[in-house]
Structure 1
Amino acid sequence: MEIVTWVLIVFAVLAVLLAIWRFLTLRSRGTAILLRRLPASGLHGWRHGTIRYNGDDLEYFKLRSLSPMADQVFTRQRLDLHAPRQVSPAESGFMAEGLSIATLCDAGTHYEIALDQHTLMALTAWIESAPHERQERFDHHRIRSRITRGQNDK
């Protein structure tokens, strides 16, 4: 019985340390948002969290999660951002003033994301600056001719 108690204490201490680490590291590096997966009815499904840009990925970390990894990862190549809407009167009860709600589509899955105007502008710019999926293929013959250009003259 004593071993079980110590194991539970160790797990509780680890959970608290992980929560503190996650709170301190994400709070200073991320942008606060609210996110919910669609379809959702009424006010259900909204989750507070932070987003962080990591190369071509947008990482979402839930506020009430202890995982050291991102809870949701969006890839820039697959994202579509639709026009924002205003916060409804019912939603304004738990959302900060000045937020807009945009629809974010990730490979067929739709989300609503509540963010301020500056964050919306940054997210829009980040998505639109993504390189196109169809990139030029290398012309191997042209590259080989450039590499061997002076070797045939000898």
Structure 2
Amino acid sequence: MSVLVVVLSVLLVLVLALCCLLAFRVAQLRRGGTPVLLRVLPADVDEGWRHGTVHYTDEALRYYRLSSLRPGPSRTLVRRRLDISGRRRPVGTERDILEGMVILEVHQSASSGDDRTYEIAFDPGGVTAFQSWVESRRSLRSQNRRSA
């Protein structure tokens, strides 16, 4: 009987520690960054959305999934390889979660040929910030000219 109590106590401590780590991560990520929902395409209309935050750097957008305990970003989208390929409003059951948000379809080309397409749902202010960030990058032509 005492062995069972010890095992249950250890499990309880581990579960509490995991909950504390998750709460710390959520609090830390909500303090900075832009809240978004992201999904990898192809996906059904109302499937695959993940809550998180995005943090911008000069070279990349870093997406941190809220329900992950990973210390670094869940996805990194390289700025010079991003193109906004579409824009839409939520449809169907997406409206329950994404009401008032704008969904951007973003294509990331990769040098390895492993291109990816994402949908990122922002509030209207987040859309403006993201578009400005993407459009203000230096063009590949100016980068190539500078290295010549």
TM (norm. structure 1) is 0.77
Tell me, what secondary structure is at the counterpart of 2:98?
A: coil
- 1:42-57 matches, cutoff 5 A: 42-57=45-60
User: 1:127 maps to what in 2?
Assistant: 134
1 CA distance for matches of 2:139 and 2:123? 27
1:32 aligns to 2:39 (yes or no): no
1:63 maps to a residue whose letter is: L
CA RMSD of aligned residues (A): 2.2
2:80 maps to a residue whose letter is: Q
Q: CA deviation at 1:85?
A: 0.8
Percentage of identical aligned residues: 36
2 CA distance for matches of 1:29 and 1:11? 28
Structure with bigger gyration radius: 1
Q: CA deviation at 1:91?
A: 1.1
Aligned residue among 73, 76, 90 for 1:73: 76
Tell me, what secondary structure is at the counterpart of 2:140?
A: coil
1:87 aligns to 2:90 (yes or no): yes
User: 2:24 maps to what in 1?
Assistant: 21
- Deviation string, structure 1 residues 28-73 (Cα, Å, up to 9, x no partner): 1021111111111131111111111123111111121111111001
Tell me, what secondary structure is at the counterpart of 2:45?
A: coil
User: 1:106 maps to what in 2?
Assistant: 108
Q: Which has the higher helix share?
A: 2
Q: Is the 8 A contact 2:46 2:92 kept in 1?
A: no
Aligned residue among 44, 60, 64 for 1:61: 64
Aligned length: 137
Q: Which runs of 5+ in 1 are unaligned?
A: 140-154
1 CA distance for matches of 2:14 and 2:133? 39
With over 3 angstroms needed to count, the CA separation of the structure-2 counterparts of 1:36 and 1:14, relative to structure 1, is: same
